[in-house]
Every structure is written in structure tokens, then in C-alpha cells.
Amino acid sequence: MAQKMNIVCVTGTREKLQMAAMIASVAAATGDEVSVFLSMNALPYFLKGHTQDAPVEGELGTLMAQEKGVPSFKVLFQQAVELGDAKLLPCSMAMDIMKITHDDFDPEVGPATGLTRFLSDAEGGQMLTF
Amino acid sequence: MSDSKIVDARDTFCPGPLMELIRNMKQSNVGDTLELLSTDEGSGADVPEWVNKVGHEILSNEKIDGVWHIKIRKAK
């Protein structure tokens, strides 16, 4: 059964971004309606030309960074959008603080979204935070 | 005419093989057969889980010399 899966990405570390991207891509490709709210230190990774080399938190992150065969979190988020119609929603507050507009983001990123809108759309679904 | 295709996702980690399969499934027609090759240990259980959940058909699933060979028929 399709369900609503809401993912809040706020931490800019490799492990958290990777786990969020894995869940988003698999859930979206399985038919879930996936929305990913991007804010705080996770948001800059979705800016055009920004480094994808997120700092690691610990042992697993270090191992993942060394392995060639681990799909990058950016590719997984793109696949969530392309293969499963996931939405990547940048937090409008964080965009104001960073003084950026929608044009500054990679093409897979959706419209600027406020918390009120995100929470109201998320009603009744699952909510995961990374 | 139904096609048969090999999706070689060896040496990638979860969810790489699954996403590679899904990408190829999208480009295939109903009735086509895809054979996924994966060295990711979890694929043997996880890929059939996805296939069944989404409603396609597992034709065979076996591990040969450390490589999972999972044959799937696109059912819809």
C-alpha cells in the first residue's frame, strides 16, 4: 500500500544524508509518496556546485567514503525524484538566512516550502528526521 | 516480442543494485525479463521483497560463485 513518507533532513553529515537518501529512494521507487524537507546544514549540499564531500561522523562513514560501490546520496536523491516522483523541498526559512533563491539549487530540488505547508501536507503520514 | 536483459550491478552496495534494477524496469516493456547480477549480500532477500511488493514476478533467484542472479519478469 502506498503511504506518505515525510523525511526531514537537517544534519550535514555523510551518514545521515546517506541514510535519508537510501530511505527516500527505496520508498519512492516502491510507490510511497515521499517528501524530503531540506533545512539547516543539510540544505547547502543541494546548491549547484556545492561539494558533496560531507564530513563523516564515525566508523561507518569512513568506510563508506572509502568504498567505490556506495551510491552517493546525491544520486540516490535524484533517483528518488526521477524514478519515484519524490519531492525535495527546500526550507524557505533556511533560504532566507542563506540569501539564496530557487535558481541556486540543483534541478531536482522542488519549490521553496514553509514549515506550515510541509506539516500540513505531512499530516497522517510517517515522519523521519535525519 | 519480449526482451531479455542483464542488469549488471556487481560491486555496488545497497540500494545500488535495487535502484539499477528499477531504472531498467522503467525502460522495459511488460513481459520483458531482466536478470539482476549483484554481489551485495542483502540483494538475495531484499530485491524479491521489492519485486513482490510492486507486483512483478520472480522467475529465479540463486547465488552462483558469490553473485546473486535474480530473474524477474515485468508484470505490469
Q: How far apart are the first and last CA of chain B?
A: 15
Nearest chain A residue to B39 by CA distance is A69
Chain A residues near residue B7 by CB distance under 8 angstroms? none
Q: What is the pLDDT of residues A2-37, one digit of tens each?
A: 899 999 999 999 999 999 999 999 999 999 999 999
Chain A residues near residue B13 by CB distance under 8 angstroms? 67, 69-71
Q: What is the pLDDT of residue B27?
A: 94
Residue A99 φ/ψ region, left for φ over 0, alpha for ψ in the -120 to 50 degree band, beta for the rest? left
Rounded to 5, what percent of chain B is helix, strand, coil? 30, 35, 35
Q: How far is A71 from chain B (nearest CA, A)?
A: 6
Cβ burial, residue B55 (10 Å; 0-12/13-18/19+): exposed
Q: Do the beta carbons of residue A50 and residue A110 sit within 8 Å?
A: no
> Which residues of chain A from 7 to 66 reach within 8 Å of chain B, CB to CB?
22, 25-26, 29-31
Q: Do the beta carbons of residue A126 and residue A2 sit within 8 Å?
A: no
| pTM assigned to the model | 0.94
Q: What is the pLDDT of residues B9-55, one digit of tens each?
A: 999 999 999 999 999 999 999 999 999 999 999 999 999 999 999 99
Q: What is the pLDDT of residues A40-98, one digit of tens each?
A: 999 999 999 999 999 999 999 999 999 999 999 999 999 999 999 999 999 999 999 99
Is pLDDT at A1 greater than 90 in this prediction?
no
C-alpha–C-alpha distance, residues A108 and B66, integer Å: 36
Q: How many CB atoms lie within 10 A of CB B5?
A: 13
Quote the radius of gyration of chain B (alpha carbons, Å).
11
The ipTM estimated for the assembled molecules is 0.89
Q: What is the dihedral of CA A70, A74, A76, A80, to 10 degrees?
A: 180
Cβ burial, residue B3 (10 Å; 0-12/13-18/19+): exposed
**What's the distance, CA B14 to chain centroid?**
13
